[in-house]
């Protein structure tokens, strides 16, 4: 193109502008607007849309390089080694030596790009290379330019850098001398972290929560953070943390602290189920010692709260769950009332401490425990209690909590 023609609008450039790229350009975040990117692209767009696309794609790759550095060179190094990408030892390796395709792959593996965005950017790179060598054999179409604009801006230039949470950040948080409530920002910083970072943070919290030498407050804070992170911990990470707990327990049954931590992290399904079953059988024996009678109501809260802390009925193996559900049914049903000064107006005597907790357990477990509740009806103690209409109605309430009959 001759210099005198550079300012002459091209039909293609006018069509690209007419496609709505101005609205897409407006999505670029302020940090890049300050670099006058929009102005330079706007100057090129009417006369040379191909060059404008190339400039925009190059800006997106540069942005990803900076985001990789900001996310952490330590994790970039680990991810690069894991996925056999070029070695990353210093910032210059990413900023100067990495090719555009390697930048895209490293950003994706680090969790800075979603898989759909990563695939779209690879397609955009192929189009960009064609634009760079545009000749008689290949002429960029309007849709090529629009695709690059939308992809580079929506997937990269409009997105703020991801602040990946670090182990040190979590350590500082849980060691404060007060009970903490993990913020939404903290959870959002943890969620996009790649598996390596998620595992490092989760394993650190597990170790602290199980370290008897740590202050109780710090251990409690570690468990609270685990609970907050649990929905965001990927299954691949949960499997690895489950293996950590399996190795810690060796062949011994899991103890209460280990099961609480496993439940907080959501890894109970990945523990050795034989040892999990042994724990819940032992837990059921504790329930038997406490007793289901309403006169023992003062002892019900502590043991049932511990059952909730270890995951409740949903993670309990079938054999132990059947026994525990029977205990709960007997506890909830209670015994006939209408006697004594304080009970003369009460049809049923039952544990007011246990009843709401049992209802909560059944609501969460739902259909999982329906057969267990039905089986409890065959127990002689349940049969005897249900001869009283008011107690029989309480049983039906429990059945209703397990969902409609199939």
The residue ranges of every structural domain in the chain are 3-157, 163-271, 273-406
pLDDT attached to residue 5: 43
Instruction: Report yes or no on whether pTM surpasses 0.75.
Output: no
d(CA 86, CA 320): 52
As to burial, measured by CB atoms within 10 angstroms (0-12 exposed, 13-18 middle, 19+ buried), residue 76 is buried
Q: Please answer whether residues 197 and 164 qualify as being in contact, where contact means their C-beta atoms are separated by less than 8 angstroms.
A: yes
Q: Which two tokens stand for residue 208?
A: 């602290």
Confidence of residue 142 (pLDDT cuts 50, 70, 90): confident
The model's pLDDT over 246-279, given as tens digits with 9 standing for 90+, comes to 999 888 889 999 999 999 999 999 999 999 999 9
Could you tell me which of 110, 103, 221 has the C-alpha nearest to residue 164? 110
Model pLDDT, residue 135 = 53
pLDDT of 149 reads 86
pLDDT digits (tens, 9 = 90+) for 305-341: 999 999 999 999 999 999 999 999 999 999 886 666 5
Buried/exposed code over 17-52 (b: 16+ C-beta within 10 A; e: otherwise): eebebeebbeebeeebeeeebbeebeebbbbbbbbb
For residue 127, the model assigns a pLDDT of: 86
pLDDT band at 45 (very low <50, low <70, confident <90, very high): confident
Residue 150 has pLDDT above 50, yes or no: yes
What separation in angstroms does the CA of 9 have from each of 4, 15, 53, 149? 12, 10, 16, 19
Least-confidence region, from 39-48, 189-198, 201-210, 288-297: 39-48
CA distance 185 to 197: 17
Are residues 139 and 131 in contact, defined by beta-carbon separation less than 8 angstroms?
A: no
Burial environment of residue 280 by CB neighbours within 10 A (0 to 12, 13 to 18, 19 or more) = buried
pLDDT of residue 10: 53
pLDDT at residue 140, as a whole number: 57
What is the pLDDT of the chain when averaged over all its residues? 88
**314-352 CB burial, b ≥16 within 10 A, e <16:** ebbeeebbbbbbbbbbbbbbbeebeeeeeeeeeebbbbe
Q: In 3D, which of 113, 144, 149, 147 has the Cα closest to residue 23?
A: 149
Q: What is the pLDDT of residue 8?
A: 44
Give 347-373 pLDDT, tens digit per residue.
888 899 999 999 999 999 999 999 999
Whether 190 shows a pLDDT value over 80: the answer reads yes
């Amino acid at each position: 193109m001759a210099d005198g023609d550079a300012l002459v609008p091209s039909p293609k450039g006018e069509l690209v502008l007419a496609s709505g790229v101005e609205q897409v350009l407006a999505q670029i975040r302020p940090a890049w607007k300050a670099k006058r990117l929009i102005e330079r692209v706007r100057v090129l767009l009417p006369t040379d849309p191909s060059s404008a696309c190339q400039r925009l794609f190059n800006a997106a790759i540069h942005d990803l390089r900076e985001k990789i550095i900001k996310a952490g060179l330590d994790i970039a190094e680990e991810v690069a080694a894991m996925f056999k990408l070029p070695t990353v030892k210093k910032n210059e390796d990413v900023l100067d030596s990495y090719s555009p395709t390697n930048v895209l792959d490293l950003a994706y593996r680090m969790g800075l790009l979603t898989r759909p965005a990563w695939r779209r950017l690879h397609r955009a790179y192929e189009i960009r290379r064609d634009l760079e060598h545009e000749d008689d054999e290949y002429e960029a179409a309007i849709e090529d330019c629009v695709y690059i604009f939308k992809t580079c801006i929506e997937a990269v230039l409009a997105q703020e850098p991801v602040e990946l949470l670090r182990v040190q950040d979590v350590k500082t948080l849980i060691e404060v001398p007060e009970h903490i409530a993990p913020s939404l920002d903290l959870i959002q910083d943890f969620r996009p972290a790649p598996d390596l970072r998620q595992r490092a943070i989760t394993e650190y919290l597990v170790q602290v929560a199980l370290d008897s030498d740590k202050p109780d407050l710090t251990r409690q804070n570690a468990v609270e953070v685990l609970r907050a992170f649990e929905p965001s911990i990927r299954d691949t990470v949960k499997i690895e943390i489950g293996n950590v707990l399996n190795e810690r327990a060796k062949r011994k049954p899991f103890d209460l602290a280990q099961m609480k931590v496993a439940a907080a992290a959501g890894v109970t399904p990945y523990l050795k189920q034989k040892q999990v079953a042994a724990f819940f059988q032992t837990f059921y024996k504790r329930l038997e010692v406490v007793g289901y009678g309403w006169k023992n109501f003062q002892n019900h809260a502590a043991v049932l709260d511990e059952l909730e802390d270890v995951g409740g009925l949903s993670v309990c193996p079938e054999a132990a769950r059947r026994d525990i559900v029977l205990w709960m049914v007997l506890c909830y049903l209670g015994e006939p009332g209408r006697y004594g000064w304080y009970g003369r107006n009460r049809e049923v005597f039952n544990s007011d401490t246990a009843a709401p907790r049992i209802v909560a357990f059944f609501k969460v477990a739902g259909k999982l425990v329906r057969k267990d509740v039905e089986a409890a009806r065959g127990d002689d103690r349940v049969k005897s209690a249900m001869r009283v209409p008011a107690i029989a109605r309480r049983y039906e309430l429990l059945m209703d909590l397990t969902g409609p009959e199939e």
